Amino acid sequence: MAKTPTLRPAQAPTLPQSDPDPDARARGLAKAREDYQFDFSYQEIVSAKSLPLHEKTDPAYWAAIAKVMAELKANELATRSLGENVEHAAESFLEGLAEKLAKLAPSEVGDRLARERRVDPAELDRSPEAYAKMYARIPKPPVVDTWERDDVFAWQALAGTNPIMIRRLAAPHPRLPITEAHYAKAVPGDRLEAAMREGRLYVADYAILDGIPTGTFEGMDKTIFAPIALYAWRPEREGRPAAFTPVAIQCGQDPSKHPIFTPADGASWRMARATVTCAEGNVQGVISHFALCHEVMESVILATHRQLAKAHPIHVLLEPHFANTLITNDIAMTSLIGPDGNMERLQSGTLEASLDLAKKALSEFRLLESAPTKDFAARGTDDLEGLPVYPFRDDGLLSWGPLERWARAYLDLYYESDADVAADPELAAWVDEMGSEQGGRLKGLSRPETVDGLVELVAQILFRCTVYHAAFNYTSYDFFAYAPNMQAATFGPGPSGTAADSDAALEAMWPPYEAAYEGMHLFYTIFRVQLNRLGHYPEGHFTDPRVAPLEETLRAELDAVEETIAARDAARLLPYPYLRPSRVSNSIHV
């Protein structure tokens, strides 16, 4: 892991009402407002109008990106039909790559490598074996060997790359007419009524995708569904271990048009699963990851630079959590969400439809209500009896406690009372701008009036750009980079419940090889780049000596979290190492 460059504030951390040189402080903020400006010119997406040079030139960032590109290019060469020369060609490429990349400007690196030919998709079909050929020199995702299993499909609702969809079903779903007969096929020996009464039913409803316009890939029409998936926690019974199990899938919101499928339905069930995994892929890529991580933090970062002086204690605390986020998001404006970028090429929806999904999700997001404890309570997934195993919850909460305590201990150094919070004009301006239509456009924000309220806000920012982001970013390759397991787009009509449903029809739903390879390329890049580590701040960053023992406490608590998750993983259906603090980055930089 690259060493994070040292960052130091211009002066000791000081609240604005106590600053001995308020004029210099005001001049610094005025300059920051020139350097960091909000821009909404592209599709009304919040972004920076331009970036100061220092935001673009971290050598460690570009070196990490170049290294991953080298690995992917070597893998690409090795997947071609080069016979005995495959390994030699790959090794020759790697030997000269470092020297070549050193002569390129950072912006040229991606352009040069993007022009290289990839595997001819005509050479390969859409079978699972064909997709597995794309991992010639890089580790294959572990799900390649397990994706067909129903227990692994259900596990991903709890510990996959988008584990935020499930909600407790406490009453019959208005658009999913599940019956005892359906339930009995999926969970023999259990009863639907008992599972609902005992709080063991969970639903993932993708209604947000209903009716969105779909795009094309190389002239092929994409499809998408708005399925409803039902799961149950099955208690231990008659020698069978307890497990989270899939119960039923309805591939659309209208039950008069979409039949319910269960695991007893063979090929129709397998095709129905693909409608869910494609829905997952679209929600994950567009909403959970892009909108609720990258876009939320773009708003926070710009407002911080503009409204909190470099010497403000909150700016000092948060700045390491901003490392390389703005340049990452700046690149995404073209490579991800720009015309002909990853979003338009790979996701099911048209570019406009996908961006509309992102904006809708942001309009419904409330930063002040985003603490994991609040999220799990709102979704009814905080009940350890109804849902004893939920790794995203269980491991995430382990780090939430230390982060919240760290935020409180740090802020207590500077805010001795609620009156100090109320008297801080920069704090007020910061929160106002994060929520302003001319600023961050985050909804539901209000100025904190107490130390407790401020701690809650800051802790939720810390969690979002670290643990929460890791749950979507560093899981992507393992679950999203193998097309049979999860798709950013499907291409077939989906299951009909007739003899037309078959494994061949399922394979026709999967993306063509070239689209799958482009997705793998993206997910491998964001999976491999980790420049910093949760709780590890740049050496010498905190100039206030009172912070050092607090930082030591945070690291000690996170080390204990690491050990606990490692022990849990040994007993899980699949390991879930992604929220181990060592695997969580301190900032969003991919």
At 137 the three-state DSSP class reads coil
Alpha-carbon distances, residue 202 vs 168, 275, 470, 484 (angstroms): 4, 18, 24, 24
CB within 8 Å of 454: residues ≥ 6 apart? 411, 415, 421, 427, 448
pLDDT for the residue 110: 45
**Beta-carbon-side half-sphere exposure of residue 210 (alpha carbons within 13 Å):** 13
In a domain, 111, yes or no: no
* CATH of residue 430: 1.20.245.10
In a domain, 376, yes or no: yes
Q: What is the pTM of this model?
A: 0.92
Residue with tokens 């269960």: 262
- Say how far residue 21 (Cα) sits from the centre of its chain: 42
For residues 277 and 271, what is the distance between their CA atoms, to the nearest angstrom?
10
Q: Which of 337, 342, 330, 334 is nearest to 356 (CA)?
A: 337
In a domain, 236, yes or no: no
Residue with tokens 């979507």: 472
**Beta-carbon-side half-sphere exposure of residue 351 (alpha carbons within 13 Å):** 17
In a domain, 430, yes or no: yes
Joined tokens for residue 225 = 């569904």
Amino acid letter, 78: A
For residues 315 and 311, what is the distance between their CA atoms, to the nearest angstrom?
7
Joined tokens for residue 50 = 């331009």
SS (H, E, C) 314-374: HHHHHHHHHCCHHHHHHHHHHHCCCCCCHHHHHCCECHHHHHHHHHHHHHHCEHHHCCHHH
Amino acid letter, 137: R
For residues 285 and 282, what is the distance between their CA atoms, to the nearest angstrom?
5
In a domain, 114, yes or no: no
User: Is the CB of residue 312 less than 8 Å from the CB of residue 575?
Assistant: no
For residues 214 and 488, what is the distance between their CA atoms, to the nearest angstrom?
12
The number of folded domains in the chain is 1
In a domain, 391, yes or no: yes
Residue with tokens 């990851």: 289
pLDDT for the residue 11: 64
β 220-221/216-217 pair status: antiparallel
pLDDT for the residue 79: 82
- Helix, strand and coil percent figures for the chain, each rounded to 5: 55, 5, 40
Looking at the DSSP bridge assignments, the partners of residue 320 are none
User: Is the CB of residue 475 less than 8 Å from the CB of residue 160?
Assistant: yes
| CA dihedral of residues 538, 543, 548, 551 (deg, nearest 10) | -40
For residues 303 and 428, what is the distance between their CA atoms, to the nearest angstrom?
11
Q: Which of 342, 231, 225 is nearest to 289 (CA)?
A: 342
For residues 251 and 245, what is the distance between their CA atoms, to the nearest angstrom?
18
Question: CB atoms < 10 A from the CB of 181, how many?
Answer: 10
Q: Report the chain (590 residues): mean pLDDT per 10 consecutive residues.
A: 42 92 97 98 96 94 92 85 47 52 48 45 74 94 97 98 98 97 96 97 98 96 98 89 97 98 98 98 98 98 98 98 97 93 96 98 98 98 97 98 98 98 98 98 97 98 98 98 98 95 97 95 95 96 97 98 98 97 97
What does 403-436 look like in DSSP terms, one character per residue?
Answer: HHHHHHHHHHTT--SHHHHHT-HHHHHHHHHHH-
Residue with tokens 């009453």: 171
User: Is the CB of residue 326 less than 8 Å from the CB of residue 58?
Assistant: no
User: Is the CB of residue 531 less than 8 Å from the CB of residue 61?
Assistant: yes
In a domain, 128, yes or no: no
Residue with tokens 């099911």: 348
- Say how far residue 581 (Cα) sits from the centre of its chain: 16
Range of the domain at 551: 16-51+280-481+531-583
pLDDT for the residue 119: 46
